[in-house]
Structures are given as C-alpha cells and as structure tokens.
Amino acid sequence: MKKITINDVAKHAGVSKKTISRVLNDEPNVSDDTKSKVKQAFSSLGYRPNPQARALAFNQSFLIGLLYDNPNKSYVSDIQTGALTRCKSEGYNLIIYPEDHEKDSLVDDLDNVMINANLDGVILTPPFSDNQKLIAMLERKRIPFVTVGATRDLTAKPCVFCNDSEASYQMCRYLISLGHTRIGFIKGHPDHNVTQLRFNGYLKALNEANIETDISLVKQGYFTHESGEDCARHLLSMEKLPTAIFACNDYMAAGVLKVANQKGIAVPHDLTITGYDNAPISRHIWPSLTTVKQPTEAMASLAAKILIRLIKNKPLEKVASNFDAELIVRESSAPVRRNN
C-alpha cells in the first residue's frame, strides 16, 4: 500500500503544503473552510502525520508532561483523562510523571526529565502547583506550564482552579441548615493549598451562623483513608460527640464511616458524614456520601488547552480560570436529632 504523504493531502484538498502545515500546527490566518477541507482530506486519505518529521519541522517534541503526587486515584484518573483527551485532539502526546513531592532531589530530577524527554510544557497538579523552586526552574528554562488547583497566587501564573473555599462554605451552610452545630472538620494534606481554602470556608460558615469554633473538632488528615480513620477515632471518642463530620475528601470520609460503624454509631441518624471530590467511593459505599463535585476532567482539559496556546505563543484570554463546584446530597446526611 502506498504511503500517504503531505503532498497527497495538499493535492486532494487543493491547497499548498504550507497550508497543510499551518493546519497541523493550528496556526492563525487559516479560514475555517480551509481547515475543514484539509481535515476532510486527512480523513478520506487516512493520513497520519509522522511524529518525528513533525517534531523536526516545527522544532517541537509535541510532548506534554503531567506531574502529580496525590493519593486520590479517582482525582488523578480524571486529571489524566481530561488532559489526554485535549492533547489528543490537538496533536500532542501526554507523558505521566508520578513523583514524591517531598523528596530533596525533586527539582534536579525533574530538570533532567525536561531535558531527556524534551517536553514542550508541563501541567502541575497540587501540591506541585505551589512549589516555588520547581516553578522557578521552569521559568528559568523557559518551559511553559499551567497549574491545576488553587494556588497561593492566582494572578501571576496561568492556572485552572475550583472555588474550594466557596464550595466548603456551602457544604457547611447545608449542615447548619440541618441543625448541626457541632461539626467536626478533617483537614487535607497541609502541603496542598486547597486544604486551607476548604478550612476557610468551614470557618466562614460557622462565623456567619454565630457558632463558636471549637478547635478540638478540627483534626489534621492527609487525604488518605487511613488518616480519615485516625481522625475519626479521636472525634468519635470525645465526651461530647460531633453530630456531623465534614472531611476534606471522600476517602477520609469513608474512613470516618468505617470507624462509626465499628463503634455502632448510626449514619446518618446519629452522625452525618460528608466528603469532597465525588470520588467513585462516595457512590459505592453505604450510606452513599453527601459530597462536593468539582469538574476535574474539564479543568484538566482546559489546562492542557491553555498550555498548548502558551507553547504556540498564542495570547491567553485570561490567566486564571475558575470553575464552580456542585453540592451532591446523598444518604449520609440528615437533620440533627433533637436529643443530640
């Protein structure tokens, strides 16, 4: 079978080879009608660009890195799916890099990765989004990057994030509307900026409802099921129990539910439990978890889109893009019992 070349595509579409190259690289000054004709020619002829030749022609690798260190597997999966779908549609390949954000050699190791893989750009997820040494290295090397998740500076760097503080506030307002005033709160990993934002939302809701903050009801978790269990053992061993516990993600909330069951505490009749993320576990356990759903796939897709624009030196409409979260009410929440 004859190999289809760019010359064949140009002849079929009735355009020049330069126009084909412009369409492949999504360059400006190509009409929608011309783009449509070229893409139809791709499809009709079964043309697939040669990755090596394309990389040489445009002085790019067409490789994007995705960096993560997160125990929440569903979050990582959604991030990968969103970024991969966008990269595929734009003619880029995505390379996944799981890394330990606490290791001393992190920046040097990633510097070597950038050199050896010849990445065109990188997507940073929490907690890498706030690693100033890593960001400084990327800026020094002039490697484009986009952060996913709320960072400490939402104005200077391209980022895509969710309204974590507002979402947490709405969750706590919901619990207060059910009559809960003793609301336990399990924080996420301290290295993740979203942890503080979600805690801020919790504090704001209590303050607005004139509920005094009881620091003994606040425990430090790490976004893991095990840390949720540990925090729950403390909270559910108090002389005066909380009537509700809000955990910073669903895996920790599932850990709370496990401990409640072990102690014979009925959920939601004696204890309301809520989480965050709408992970699959929130739907698969019983009672199913009331939680917060953030559009993680859409956030990752937009992050990849923004990064590709940066790689192509195209202007951005805005530096920071905010997504709204959604409160999902399920079976693990109920009005407080009057005798509590």
Q: Is the pTM of this model over 0.85?
A: no
Q: Are residues 114 and 201 in the same domain?
A: no
Q: Are residues 172 and 280 in the same domain?
A: yes
Residue 19: give its domain's CATH number: 1.10.260.40
Q: Are residues 146 and 170 in the same domain?
A: no
**Pairing status of strand 272-274 against strand 218-220:** unpaired
pLDDT reported for residue 168: 97
DSSP string, 53-93: HHHHHHT---EEEEEE--S-HHHHHHHHHHHHHHHHHHT-E
Q: Are residues 91 and 188 in the same domain?
A: no
Q: Does the residue 205 lie in any domain?
A: yes
Q: Are residues 139 and 188 in the same domain?
A: no
Q: How many angstroms separate the CA atoms of 139 and 11, rounded?
A: 42
Q: Does the residue 39 lie in any domain?
A: yes
pLDDT reported for residue 155: 57
Lowest mean pLDDT among 44-53, 277-286, 313-322: 44-53
Q: How many angstroms separate the CA atoms of 277 and 248, rounded?
A: 8
pLDDT reported for residue 150: 67
Answer yes or no: is pLDDT of 29 > 90: no
Residue 140: give its domain's CATH number: 3.40.50.2300
Q: Does the residue 84 lie in any domain?
A: yes
pLDDT reported for residue 102: 85
How much is the average pLDDT of 251-255? Answer: 97
121-133 pLDDT per residue, tens: 999 998 888 888 9
| Position 44 confidence tier, pLDDT thresholds 50, 70, 90 | confident
Q: Are residues 141 and 152 in the same domain?
A: yes
Q: Are residues 86 and 191 in the same domain?
A: no
Domain count, the chain: 3
How much is the average pLDDT of 129-154? Answer: 84
Q: Does the residue 335 lie in any domain?
A: no
Q: Are residues 80 and 152 in the same domain?
A: yes
Q: Does the residue 26 lie in any domain?
A: yes
Full domain range(s) for residue 115: 63-162+295-325
Q: Does the residue 332 lie in any domain?
A: no
Dihedral (C-alpha) 125, 127, 132, 135: value to the nearest 10 degrees?
A: -20
Q: Are residues 200 and 277 in the same domain?
A: yes
Q: Are residues 151 and 214 in the same domain?
A: no
Q: How many angstroms separate the CA atoms of 277 and 132, rounded?
A: 26
pLDDT reported for residue 25: 67
Q: Are residues 148 and 223 in the same domain?
A: no
**Domain termination residue (choose one: 31, 53, 75):** 53
Q: Are residues 13 and 68 in the same domain?
A: no
Q: Does the residue 337 lie in any domain?
A: no
pLDDT reported for residue 237: 97
Q: Does the residue 334 lie in any domain?
A: no
| Position 14 confidence tier, pLDDT thresholds 50, 70, 90 | confident
Contact 312, 337 (CB under 8 A): no
